Amino acid sequence: MELVTVKQKRFADYLPFLDPPVREEIEELAARLQGKKVAMINATTFGGGVAEKLHSLVPLIKDLGIHLDWWVFEGSLEFYQVTKVLHNRLQGQEGSMTPQEVEIFDQYNRANAATMANWDYDLVVVHDPQPAALIHYRQDLGRTKWIWRCHIDTSTPNEECWDFICQYIRQYDATIFTMPDFVKEGSRLNRLTFITPSIDPLSRKNILLDPEEARKIVARFGVDTNRPLITQVSRFDPWKDPLGVIEAYKIVKKDFPSVQLALVGSMATDDPEGWDYLYYTLRRAGEDYDIKVVTNFNGISDLEVNAFQTASEILLQKSLREGFGLTVAEGLWKGTPVIGGKVGGIKLQIEDGVNGYLVETVEECADRVLNLLRNPSLLHDFAAAGKEKVRRHFLITINVLNYLRLFADLMPEGC
């Protein structure tokens, strides 16, 4: 496995976002955990919400004086093709794992576990299905406490694939899910904990961006800043439903011809299916020059994502399945109303009719977009409510607190 180098962050810079009781508890827990060594493991350093969260979570916990290393699992295209299938089936897709797929999954977990022979960590946090079997091949003789963190919506999983992954995650000392609905009844998992993901308010993607600067940036991608823009920021993935977003946009455009659509995504190393779905999206967009499809391969970085979220009148996250949907919190934090699929963690973030809308169909999505475009006062009311919701519940500081609570609980008395 590869050790990831992260940029330094100062926890003191985040104190203005904290209520006093939260600050005091974080300081107390950090003092209890001094001298403990923690490892976090995931599948990629960029291109998805998990990696993005770790780029903030890891350095902030380190700055509190806790030894924390971030390791990335080593895989290949064949491995990530298998784990993408597993990912989709854990979110409900039909099908069975072949013996060959099982062997590939175990082979890479076994090989990565062999590189951990000399590890000396008190806690290991494993993120998502790709490295879930590491614990089965571990060589730490049981001294280390292991935590499995699930970031996806497993509320209605493929039964066979859920049973397959459960044989590994039942071995963990604790498991973290985003919400209780994601845990299949009768799974018999140890120490269930629920932690929502979070955004970093001081990251390049989420720091306050001047609206005029945001408009200049999106104009470079062909957006007419004198006309309304709706945007979805997400991977190109069937569960994010970019094709449904395009259909909703087409309905809106019949009544509101000036509207434009941007589909902004990042291509990740652990998502080989993404390229195929990007192609499907481009085909569906066709020759409508008011649809902009842009990725990290044609100029999109965190700054550009920030600009699109800031410059848009409305943001969409029309997911069909969703573990959490960081882009919802990002948009709300910037004061942009969000219309999201009525699924998974999106329901934790959007209060329907208060800071955005929850929808289930293409037609409902289009109707809500039109309602907001025709009622600018609603845009203002939703913006204020959304920003405060994120400050109280979905900033990285709260995520740090929740992880420290779990770490301290898993350590013996007197730690």
The answer to whether residues 116 and 190 belong to one domain is: yes
pLDDT reported for residue 390: 94
pLDDT reported for residue 118: 85
Average pLDDT on 362-378 reads 94
Q: How far apart are CA 177 and CA 325, in angstroms?
A: 14
Whether the predicted pLDDT of 343 surpasses 90: yes
Q: What is the DSSP string of 209-261?
A: --HHHHHHHHHTTT--TTS-EEEEES-S-GGG-HHHHHHHHHHHHHH-TT-EE
DSSP 352: B
- pLDDT, tens digit, for every residue of 230-279? 999 998 888 899 999 999 999 999 999 999 999 998 776 556 677 778 88
230 touches 315 (CB < 8 A)? yes
Whether the predicted pLDDT of 315 surpasses 70: yes
The answer to whether residues 235 and 294 belong to one domain is: yes
Whether the predicted pLDDT of 298 surpasses 70: yes
- Give the residue, 237 or 349, on which the prediction is more confident: 349
pLDDT reported for residue 47: 62
Structural domain count of the chain: 2
Q: What is the DSSP string of 190-222?
A: SSEEE----B-TTSTTTS---HHHHHHHHHTTT
| Residue 169 maps to a domain | yes
347 touches 270 (CB < 8 A)? no
Whether the predicted pLDDT of 388 surpasses 60: yes
> In the chain, pLDDT over 90 holds for what percent of residues?
69
pLDDT reported for residue 382: 92
User: What is the domain extent for residue 288?
Assistant: 211-393
Place of tokens 């001298």: 35
164 touches 129 (CB < 8 A)? no
Mean of the per-residue pLDDT values for the chain? 91
Q: What is the CA radius of gyration of the chain?
A: 21
Query: What's this model's pTM, rounded to 2 decimal places?
Result: 0.82
- Closest residue by Cα to residue 87 from 136, 45, 44, 55: 44
Average pLDDT on 61-76 reads 94
The answer to whether residues 80 and 225 belong to one domain is: no
327 touches 317 (CB < 8 A)? yes
- pLDDT, tens digit, for every residue of 161-217? 999 999 999 999 999 999 898 888 888 899 999 999 899 999 999 999 999 999 999
Q: How far apart are CA 278 and CA 286, in angstroms?
A: 12
pLDDT reported for residue 257: 97
| Residue 415 maps to a domain | no
The answer to whether residues 41 and 184 belong to one domain is: yes
Q: How far apart are CA 260 and CA 218, in angstroms?
A: 12
174 touches 150 (CB < 8 A)? no
Q: How far apart are CA 147 and CA 172, in angstroms?
A: 6
The model's confidence at residue 96, banded by pLDDT at 50, 70 and 90, is confident
pLDDT reported for residue 413: 61
User: Residues near 134 by Cβ (< 8 Å), separated by ≥ 6?
Assistant: 41, 73, 109, 112, 113, 116, 126
The answer to whether residues 142 and 123 belong to one domain is: yes
| Residue 203 maps to a domain | no
- Closest residue by Cα to residue 134 from 97, 100, 171: 171
Q: How far apart are CA 202 and CA 56, in angstroms?
A: 9
pLDDT reported for residue 414: 47
| Residue 204 maps to a domain | no
The answer to whether residues 273 and 382 belong to one domain is: yes
Q: How far apart are CA 161 and CA 184, in angstroms?
A: 12
**CATH number for 333:** 3.40.50.2000
- pLDDT, tens digit, for every residue of 204-244? 999 999 999 999 999 999 999 999 999 999 988 888 999 99
The answer to whether residues 70 and 168 belong to one domain is: yes
